[in-house]
Structure 1
Amino acid sequence: MSRTVRILAAAAAALALVSACNSAARESRPGSPGSGAGLTRGVSDTSVKVGGIVSMTSAGGYSKKDTDLGARARYLRANAEGGIQGRMIDYIGAEDDGQDPGKNLAAARKLVQQDKVFAVAPMSSVTFSGADFLEQEKVPTFGWGTLPSFCGPQYIYGFNGCLVPSPGGTINQTWPEGIAKVLGGAQGKTVAIVANDSDAGKFGIRTFQQGFAAAGFKVAYAKASVPAAAVPSDWSAYVKEILGGDGGQAPDAVVSVMQTPNNIGLFTALKRAGYRGLLSDPTDYDPGLLTKDAARQALDGVYVLLQFEPFETSSPQMDRFKADIKAASGGQDVPLSMHMLTGYMSADLFVSIAQKAGRDLTLTHFQNAAQSFSDTGTLVGDRAEPKGQKDSFGCGALVRLKDGKYEVAVPFACHEPVPFT
């Protein structure tokens, strides 16, 4: 062997030894003080970094900013209890995507590439264009599973499961079963379902149309026809179609799969047209709405779908939620909103899985923990993964706004889901 070859071989052996030693130095045994540090994005010896994406603002004035407060409240309690296996949660707050697809993707990129977060919790918006990027970068992401991106991907989780499943999944029956109870049964009853002209709206029509039919309703009208970009100034054409959808007969119930500004416009127009049937939507459980005369009048009598325990109920879980929100608000009593709870429960599912992953918090260990995760008695019922990435957790309630106050119309309960085809 020539001198040059011997030198190169010795250098290669030395480099391999150094690399092995460095690797051994970085690899920490599970449970050791340095476990996870330096190996996983967003994880150090003492902290785990988490961010959020929330529609704080929107072109139509709709805001989900309370989602951020809900997440902060849960993380504050987790840190007060010792963090995640001794690591404090460094919640850097939520990026505002303005309900804009481009901004949603930009927010996801910023959180991963600049802020280097371990997880995104909460993600709360009507758009989730950053989903593919977060999945590709293996970022555990938690939010309200009302978009298809929460159903199927490996790293994305709905805090109450998958609500817009792919064929082969299941549909949550809380809404149709709840309305059936209010109406005294579904047989012989008709329902009209209306949504925005968007991908999410069209998917919502498809799922709820199947769900209401499975519960025994006749679906007399189901269209995603309302413009998504701006609230219509004239609802007369929509009202005419809805009230005449069943051979000229008004339906027994009108279900809106839209946000508050659209619901106010549609319900006001229906009432002015003389409609006296049941009105329902999944978004207008917000005491802040009661301070506005137009909103209070438009939503009076409306049944709102909840997929968590109503604030009006009393349970240890609800009492703890309220106490956590008060603590995060500096000791102030603030009006509770469903957005607070979506942020809180998104954070809660992340914290619960991360705790199970143990001190050695890596992406692999986190995902392994998620694959066998389950718990019971939460504000959204019993939870289990990976079931929740295909099916909803199947629980919910209906509340009704009456005389300026919300009241529980159908108590929180779990229903057997139906197959989605």
Structure 2
Amino acid sequence: MPGPGPIRTIALTAALLLATAACNSASTQGSSGKETGSSARGVTADTVKVGGIVSMTSASGYSKKDTDLGARARYDRANAEGGVNGRKIQYLGAEDDGQDPAKNLAAARQLVQRDQVFAVAPMSSVTFSGADFLDRQQVPTIGWGTLPSFCGPKHIYGFNGCLVPMPGGTLNQTWPEGLAKVLGGARGKSVALIAGDSDAGKFGIRTFKQGFAAAGFEVSYAKASVPATALPNDWSAYTKEILRANGGKAPDVVVSVMQTPYNIGLFTSLKRAGYKGLITDPTDYDPGLLTKDTTRQALDGVLVLLQFQPFEADTPAMRRFKEDIKKASGGKDVPLNMHMMTGYMSADLFLSIAAKAGKDLTVESFQKAAAAFSDTGTLVGDRAEPKGQKESFGCGALVRLKDGRYEVAVPFTCYEPIPFA
């Protein structure tokens, strides 16, 4: 949580932005900021204006910049096919929030008050301080539902559903059930969970602790103890705790709910200490990570959770995804990564709901279409709203890095979610 100083700074910044916006333009759907001929902010007779918010940069060096490329690839195809009900998508690109809560809120305000977007898709960051603002302003927002703000607010959607539900929702069991398949069953197997010391990390530990226990694992260690804003230089203290967590012995599985720079440090330390069990995380599916020997060695053998079809899958939807990314990259065969998929499927869900909203695209018609939306066979499985605002779509796969290449360890499968308490 930010301390009193940052909170006051954010509040002051927000007040200044509001004052400036009041002088320049109104920000609600019924404002004078609407474009000529439209019945909604950001919508004209032949265009729909959309923007994004993505962590392009961060203090640790971690970047989700390719989320923007993935979104652009999907919007480009939609426009090539005639747009949505005759309107072309005017994609403004993504604002960089630097994983900073103040910048996330500022980006949300800029997109609505200055740029007058109809929707924000994609939104992908470890912070989403702009969520309340976007929901109040009735801005359809779609992104990677890894934060609680994707679970409940009326106008906010996760492209693969709500991944961190509140009590009364459900938990996606892809990760524990997939690992149980790799191990030949979860009974008698222990797991250690580790995350960053942040609200998101603590919530992640809470949810995964319940999910792994429900799958039959013994959770011998579960801590959100790693500094979230400062990459540790020495991982030995964390490694020692983990390797003694199972009654003085090492657990069968180490689950990291952290980003790549942290994972590289932790996994390297575990391997140097002689750890022989399974190591797994939800972020390191990126061929670009394999260009450095140290990174490739740290990730060798690691099982990565995916909540979409693996790039290795030979399906019509995956072939089309690859073609779209290549076109958006100027005809180049660029290395694929999960951030591209995040942007692509965020855009895809927006386009799919907007298409069902009909020719008269307004926030009301979009929300009405979302309230009865469903489709099947997508890269994230079967989708349905408003189910996705309370639970995930329940599908995923596990891939393993082996000899410098990713291979499918557990094929893309859908699992029944469990109630979250």
- TM (norm. structure 2) is 0.91
Give the Cα–Cα distance (whole angstroms) in 2 for the partners of residues 64 and 401 of structure 1: 20
**Aligned 8 A contact 1:36 1:361 in 2:** no
Larger radius of gyration: 1
Q: Deviations over 1:238-259 (max 9, x none)?
A: 0111111122011000000000
Letter of the 1:273 partner, please give it: A
Give the Cα–Cα distance (whole angstroms) in 1 for the partners of residues 45 and 230 of structure 2: 48
2:266 is the counterpart of 1:266: yes
User: Counterparts in 2 of 1:75-94, with a 5 A limit?
Assistant: 75-94=75-94
Letter of the 2:191 partner, please give it: V
Give the Cα–Cα distance (whole angstroms) in 1 for the partners of residues 198 and 37 of structure 2: 43
User: Counterparts in 2 of 1:366-381, with a 5 A limit?
Assistant: 366-381=366-381
CA drift at 1:36: 9.8
2:383 is the counterpart of 1:383: yes
Give the Cα–Cα distance (whole angstroms) in 2 for the partners of residues 408 and 39 of structure 1: 47
Partner of 2:287: 287
Partner of 2:45: 45
2:195 is the counterpart of 1:195: yes
2:124 is the counterpart of 1:124: yes
SS at match of 1:113: helix
Give the Cα–Cα distance (whole angstroms) in 1 for the partners of residues 368 and 37 of structure 2: 18
2:239 is the counterpart of 1:239: yes
Letter of the 1:132 partner, please give it: D
Tell me which stretches of 4 or more aligned residues in structure 1 moved more than 6 Å: none
The structure-2 alpha-carbon separation of the partners of 1:36 and 1:310, relative to structure 1 and needing over 3 Å to count, comes to farther
CA drift at 1:37: 3.6
Give the Cα–Cα distance (whole angstroms) in 1 for the partners of residues 302 and 134 of structure 2: 37
Partner of 2:408: 408
List runs of 5+ in structure 2 lacking aligned partners.
Answer: 1-29
Give the Cα–Cα distance (whole angstroms) in 1 for the partners of residues 116 and 362 of structure 2: 14
Partner of 2:207: 207
Give the Cα–Cα distance (whole angstroms) in 2 for the partners of residues 354 and 283 of structure 1: 29
SS at match of 1:275: coil
Partner of 2:327: 327
CA drift at 1:39: 2.2
SS at match of 2:51: strand
**Aligned 8 A contact 1:375 1:383 in 2:** yes
- TM (norm. structure 1) is 0.91
SS at match of 1:411: strand
SS at match of 1:323: helix
**Aligned 8 A contact 1:285 1:338 in 2:** yes
* Identity of matched residues, %: 79
CA drift at 1:38: 2.9
Partner of 1:159: 159
Letter of the 2:248 partner, please give it: G
**Aligned 8 A contact 1:36 1:360 in 2:** no
List runs of 5+ in structure 1 lacking aligned partners.
Answer: 1-26, 28-34
**Aligned 8 A contact 1:36 1:362 in 2:** no
Give the Cα–Cα distance (whole angstroms) in 2 for the partners of residues 37 and 135 of structure 1: 25
CA drift at 1:305: 0.1
Q: Deviations over 1:360-405 (max 9, x none)?
A: 0011000000000000000000000000000100000000000000
SS at match of 2:222: strand
Letter of the 1:255 partner, please give it: V
Partner of 1:304: 304
CA drift at 1:294: 1.0
Letter of the 1:288 partner, please give it: G
User: Counterparts in 2 of 1:65-144, with a 5 A limit?
Assistant: 65-144=65-144
Q: Deviations over 1:140-195 (max 9, x none)?
A: 00000000000000000000000000001000000000100111100000000000
